[in-house]
Amino acid sequence: MEIRRWRQYNWPLLVCVIVLLVLGALAVYSATLTAVTGTGVPLHIIYPDHLINMGLGLALMVAFTFFDYQLLSSLARPIYLIGVFLLILVLFIGRTSEGARSWIEVGARTFQPTELAKLALIIVLAAYWQRFEQINDRWLVQLGGLVLAGLLGLLVLVQPDLGGAIVLASIWVMIAWGSGIRWQQILTLTLITLPLVYIGWQSDAFLDDYQKRRLLTFYYLLNDPSQVDFNDSYNVVQAMNALTQGGLFGAGLTNGLFSQGNYVPVQHTDFIFAVIGEEMGFFGGVVLITFQAILLWQALAIANQARDTFGRLMALGIFGMLFCHLVINLGMNMSLLPVTGLPLPLVSHGGSFMIITLISIGLLQSIALRSKRLVF
């Protein structure tokens, strides 16, 4: 008889989740209190949805904690095919917002297939490299994993969703690294990728003009600010203004000049860190980054303690997804990286990513719980 030892449950991970959810709930409340959309609709009406998404996500987190993650190995192929199907479907029936056709409407709610695709890629790559564990450093095996990731990445790029494609690439990198990819293979793939990036930049099939302007704006901000167009840099400039206004302890919740003045666009999603920086100050930002860092550390610890290759690679993939979201979101808020529209894990408003993130946390806990056995 197998008995799960609850002392294997990762309590620091749970504490991080709770702290970040509470911090996010406060920040989203403040960010939507007085803000309005471009059409004048008040954003505070979406706050109940944020709480519902949190509740649903937490329920699923608990469910996947009890779920035996090893069963996903046999389900990897249908999960992946569902992800591919939904990414194709969204290109035909998806709702367009901010230049990307990325959302499928389900009744009064919307769903973003790209978020499911991230988790599907983690599961299928972990199962794939577990199957070829004894020969995982061969070129054919590594190229097979790249094809699995590349198909999803291509479908996400044509929406177009550059941020989502970057996250999928980060997941592949982490799992490929964990599977034993050789440095010669990394170098060769990098040399192959560079001309493909150039072709993609020249083509209009993968990046819209506004996405290219975002990347060029970031380049000009670093090298020649005189060439920056005011409209293209508005988001970043206002986010930086909000952050610098916060000082050490901030202006106080719901008291931010830029946050409450509706100056920072999409401040409840992409630029939620600007709200935290202005209203909770440097101290609030440090608290957020500290708990995000502990969460990532625990994901790596769980990967290190996993009892099998599938669990280890899946934990590494989840780490790669969350790490990419965190670094890019903080980077674009602080004008250190281009704006690519990625939410902050467990903090930003966004139902699909919130739910997928909490499911991923549940899977991490499932891996932790099953890292050892007691047999009687």
Q: For 67-100, how does the pLDDT look when each residue is reduced to its tens digit (9 = 90+)?
A: 999 999 999 999 999 999 999 999 998 887 766 7
CA 354 to chain centre: 9
Confidence (pLDDT) at 90? 94
Q: Per-residue pLDDT for 200 more than 80? A: no
The pLDDT tens digits of the residues spanning 108-167 come to 788 899 999 999 999 999 999 999 888 777 888 888 898 999 999 999 988 888 899 999
Confidence (pLDDT) at 375? 36
CB of 241 within 8 A of CB of 271?
A: no
Confidence (pLDDT) at 227? 65
Place of tokens 């035996």: 68
pLDDT range class, residue 218, cuts 50, 70, 90: low
What are the backbone dihedrals phi and psi of residue 345, each rounded to the nearest 5 degrees, phi first?
A: -55, 130
pLDDT range class, residue 194, cuts 50, 70, 90: confident
Q: Which of 158, 72, 148, 74 is nearest to 117 (CA)?
A: 148
pLDDT range class, residue 336, cuts 50, 70, 90: confident
Q: Residue 294 has which token pair?
A: 């502990």
Peptide bond into 160 cis (omega under 30): yes
Residue 335: C-alpha distances to residues 76, 292, 331 (Å): 38, 20, 6
Confidence (pLDDT) at 327? 96
pLDDT range class, residue 201, cuts 50, 70, 90: low
Confidence (pLDDT) at 223? 64
Mean pLDDT, range 196-216, rounded to an integer: 67
CB of 126 within 8 A of CB of 149?
A: no
d(CA 352, CA 111): 6
Q: Per-residue pLDDT for 318 more than 80? A: yes
Lowest mean pLDDT among 78-92, 221-235, 241-255: 221-235
The pLDDT tens digits of the residues spanning 1-45 come to 345 557 788 999 999 999 999 999 999 999 999 887 766 678 888
Confidence (pLDDT) at 1? 33
Confidence (pLDDT) at 374? 40
Find which of 100-114, 116-130, 197-211, 332-346 is predicted with most confidence, using mean pLDDT. 116-130
Q: What is the mean pLDDT of the chain?
A: 87
